[in-house]
Amino acid sequence: MAAINKRDLDGVRATLHFPHVLLSQAAVTHYPTASDFSFAAFDARTAGQGWSHSTFDSHSVLMSDPNKAHLDIEFTRWRADGSKIGTYHAMYIVIRIDGRWGIQARSSQL
Amino acid sequence: MSTPPTTSQASPEVIAVINAYIAALNKRDLDGVRAAFHFPHVLFGTGMVTHYPTPSDLSFTAFDARTAQHGWARSTWDGHCVLLSGPDKVHIDVWFTRWRADDSKIGTHHSMYIVTKLDGRWGIQARSSYG
């Protein structure tokens, strides 16, 4: 969340595992490698809304084992003037590979 | 916006598509399995992501690789619980058991299915397994 708010692409990539998959309402976007990942899909979803930053509001663990967790993530998108765009839920698959936890997939209704 | 489910029971349409998938799998009916899925379809295994862009990319190869050495003969779908849902997308904890031909149990596993409604049809878009 911190990296996306800073538009830090390498920072976002560092929190993900690849292949990484985004399952939005409209499409399944598959990123085989880190270099395939950009802000294009995010910008397409937020364009026209005046997005400025997001906050990570809460989470709950839906299913988990020592190396894989499915989480319900609640987050809010905000404009620069402090007005709220909306609060949403997404399901994140977070896995541990070679000792590092990273986000493997995100599934939202957006 | 998705919201936590008000019920843990999936709708009849969602249950029907999972039933159709298990039935087709047990019959080794590849077209039947494909008909229960939406594409692109994604399988999140243990440490592996398998992406099927189109129905023709899907085969039983990945399933056979996971089950061949166990003597798999069939699976039963034992139960489910809706975890996160919206009007056109449901995340479901599905638990199922794999069996051998002699009716001995291989094991019971949980998977998270993402079932989506596209163009009026419910289909399984992704599966994330622990087994």
Residue found by looking up tokens 């395939």 in the block: A36
Alpha-carbon distances of B16 from A69, B60, B122, rounded to whole Å? 27, 21, 9
- State how far residue B29 is from chain A, nearest Cα, in angstroms: 25
pLDDT of residue B6: 53
> Do residues B36 and B17 lie in contact, with contact meaning Cβ atoms separated by under 8 Å?
yes
pLDDT of residue A110: 72
pLDDT of residue B1: 43
Alpha-carbon distances of A27 from A6, A54, A105, B2, rounded to whole Å? 25, 22, 13, 16
pLDDT of residue A26: 76
Residues B83-99 have pLDDT tens digits of 999 999 999 999 999 99
pLDDT of residue B3: 52
**Domain ranges across chain B:** 12-129
pLDDT of residue B46: 79
Q: How confident is the model at residue A4 (pLDDT cuts 50, 70, 90)?
A: very high
**What is the spatial distance between Cα B94 and Cα A95, in angstroms, rounded to a whole number?**
19
- Best mutation target among B58, B114, B128, B130 (most A Cβ atoms within 10 Å) is B128
ipTM, interface predicted TM-score of the complex? 0.92
Give the DSSP H or E segment for A84. strand A84-97
Residues A77-106 have pLDDT tens digits of 999 999 999 999 999 999 999 999 999 999
Range B12-129: architecture per CATH: Roll (3.10)
Residues A14-32 have pLDDT tens digits of 999 999 999 998 799 999 9
Q: What is the pTM of this model?
A: 0.93
Q: Does B44 touch chain A (CB under 8 A)?
A: yes
Specify the fold of A2-108.
Answer: Nuclear Transport Factor 2; Chain: A, (3.10.450)
Sheet holding B37-44, edge to edge: B49-52, B37-44, B121-129, B105-118, B89-100, B72-86
Chain B residues within an 8 Å CB radius of A89: 1-4, 84
Closest chain A residue by Cα to residue B94: A63
**Domain ranges across chain A:** 2-108
Residues A34-83 have pLDDT tens digits of 999 999 988 988 888 999 999 999 999 999 999 999 999 999 999 999 99
